Structure 1
Amino acid sequence: TRLWIAPPTKMDAAQLTKESYYSIFDKSGARMEIPGCSLCMGNQARVTDGATVLSTSTRNFPNRLGNSTDVYLASAELAAVTSLLGRLPTVEEYLQAMALVDQTAVDTYRYLNFDRLSEYTDKADQVIFQTVV
């Protein structure tokens, strides 16, 4: 079992670096991919033929991540619990983990509120829009 981390955007990779999570993932032996569609499309990286994968990708089709590979799509929460256990959790294990997530939901999900994060809204305010007449 191996954890692969492929942040969807450079912004996500920067935040993971800023909060020292990249260091934690690296020390745990996780494989770090460049931001963007790496694993989700099987572009830069593909898993071992015949592997079983739990992915947070949004789509799935045969041989997308590797030849004869079984890929199961999951939420970020299920993927996190699975990575901690090294296997799919039981319903009880999942609900127990989600109870902990719920306790920190305001902090955990704050990055979903891009319209409220000054480091991103400040940059957006600097974008010059041109109107064609």
Structure 2
Amino acid sequence: MTSRYSSNIHQRDLRTQLFSSANGITRGPIRSQSPYDKPVQQTSKENESFLSSLESQNNEELDSMAQKVSMIKDLGIKMGVEINKSVKLNDNLNETFEKGKVTLKNTYNKMVVMSERAGISCKYWFIVFFIVFLWFFYVWIT
């Protein structure tokens, strides 16, 4: 029975050739032979500068995040103001349309009463208004 890795031996050789230069020195990252080997100890000065750079990077990230959160908060506030304005505008439009509906209804009722008093039916008044509209439309087109 053959191993499933036996056919890939040539690929391993290609990978080692990839990371080695012409004189046999490897170009890849330097790694320890065992994961249990202790890493090289840094001096306290190097360690302090490394921690300082990490802290400054962290502060920069916090500042940028704070700016982004502030921008989102401002956007939310502006959206709330616009929503409140549109709700008020919608309420005003509803009131205006209700008033217009009542006015049109009263006008129509008064026109019906007027046509009954004059002895001419409402149909004839509509025909007269339609003829006047057609005349104005014809003049407007030409």
Relative to the length of structure 1, the TM-score reads 0.21
Say which structure is richer in strand. 1
Structure with bigger gyration radius: 2
Greater RCO, 1 or 2 (C-alpha within 8 Å, sep 6+)? 1
After TM superposition, the score normalised by the length of structure 2 is 0.20
